[in-house]
Amino acid sequence: MIKPHGSDTLNPLFVYDVDKHHELSHEAEGLPSLLLNSAAAANAVMMGAGYFNPLTGYMNLADALAVAENMRTADGLFWPTPVVNLTKDIEAVKGHKRIALRDPNVEGRPVLAVMDVEDVEEVSDSQLNLIAEHVYGTTDPEHPGVATFMDLGRFMVSGPIQVLNFSYFQQDFPDTFRTAVEIRNEIQEHGWKKIVAFQTRNPMHLAHEELCHMAMDRLGCDGLVIHMLLGKLKKGDIPAPVRDAAIRKMVEVYFPPNSAMVTGYGFDMLYAGPREAVLHAVFRQNMGATHFIIGRDHAGVGDYYGAFDAQTIFDEKVPAGALEIEIFRADHTAWSKKLNKVVMMCEAPDHEKEDFVLLSGTKVREMLGRGEAPPKEFSRPEVAEILIDYYQSLK
């Protein structure tokens, strides 16, 4: 099986030993507490689940700046985006070397992790702007990722953590949330050797489904891991339970048995385009995938990134050998009226735009809201039915 990033074995930060877990949970109740924001909590979940291997905790300012500028930590580890714990208020933990990190997304604010504090550093406006400019490619406050990042706080609390739970993800998505450890185990149980991963934060229409089939066929893959984001999205995105139901129905009906896993991970979307595409590749390698599909405007938003920037970054800025996972580069896929099948648009040079069945997201939402299924060349009827029910429920 493919090695995880940065180490020979996966080293999740979740405390699996029962006695140690009990001991830490008891200790945490007596420690000074820091209430995390959702972004820092998601980082803890990802470290606990092994997706952010080989990180041992939150980065300090020097590492965050080095990663933003050069995609390497100060000691040389390849990493695409800062993994930080920014906060607005440090009064409760000032001067303390061991603290409890509390979950902002679960009622009662339970302890998410225990942290050994190595540094508490104030971050300047210029440093925040530098990080945003490199990671998001912009400091525009209208960019949802930038807006979230710039509002997290000015104090960076860094140091190793021990994770005690996976926030709301296990409880809310018991059939879908999986750690990198669990996905590696399931891949081994399936007997898969070559595995392609597909990232989604949306329901999968026919073009997405066919793209996955194309990748599996062309790469000679034994299995597909559909890996959906279960954390916080931007306003207007379809909620995770609805996406989950739609994707599961698609796999049940249109994929052979033992060929596809439907899973999810606990992270908040960054909308960081190319940098987030590289981060996505890192944690797909950590969960055991050998290949990862990256399509047009992967992890993008608005018009902030070029259509294929998330692919070219692997040529231009990811050093050879930095990652073992291989990228499957995809163009926009759509139904060809000439060929009566889904094709990558770049592979149909004799086509004009009108030769494809193309619907905007706005148009699809309007149709679903009226109770109309999109054409069968765009969406499977079983998927459309689930989405119609959701949009009708909003009325």
User: Alpha-carbon distance 19 to 87, whole Å?
Assistant: 31
Nearest Cα residue to 335 out of 378, 289, 391: 378
- Three-state secondary structure call for residue 173: coil
Catalytic residue check, 109: no
- Residue 289, both tokens: 């995938």
Question: Is there a contact between 2 and 289 (Cβ–Cβ < 8 Å)?
Answer: yes
User: Alpha-carbon distance 179 to 95, whole Å?
Assistant: 34
Task: Indicate the helix (H) or strand (E) that contains 234.
Answer: none
> Among residues 72, 154, 201, 248, which one is catalytic?
201
Report the 10 Å Cβ neighbour count for 268.
22
- Residue 145, both tokens: 């990722």
Catalytic residue check, 201: yes
Report the 10 Å Cβ neighbour count for 130.
17
Question: Is there a contact between 203 and 246 (Cβ–Cβ < 8 Å)?
Answer: yes
Nearest Cα residue to 277 out of 306, 304, 299: 299
User: Alpha-carbon distance 261 to 108, whole Å?
Assistant: 33
User: Alpha-carbon distance 279 to 272, whole Å?
Assistant: 10
Query: Which residues, 6+ apart, have CB-to-CB distance to 140 below 8 Å?
Result: 146, 304
> Among residues 11, 202, 248, 365, which one is catalytic?
202
- Three-state secondary structure call for residue 37: coil
Task: Indicate the helix (H) or strand (E) that contains 252.
Answer: helix 240-254
Question: Is there a contact between 237 and 277 (Cβ–Cβ < 8 Å)?
Answer: no
User: Alpha-carbon distance 268 to 230, whole Å?
Assistant: 8
Which positions are catalytic?
201-202
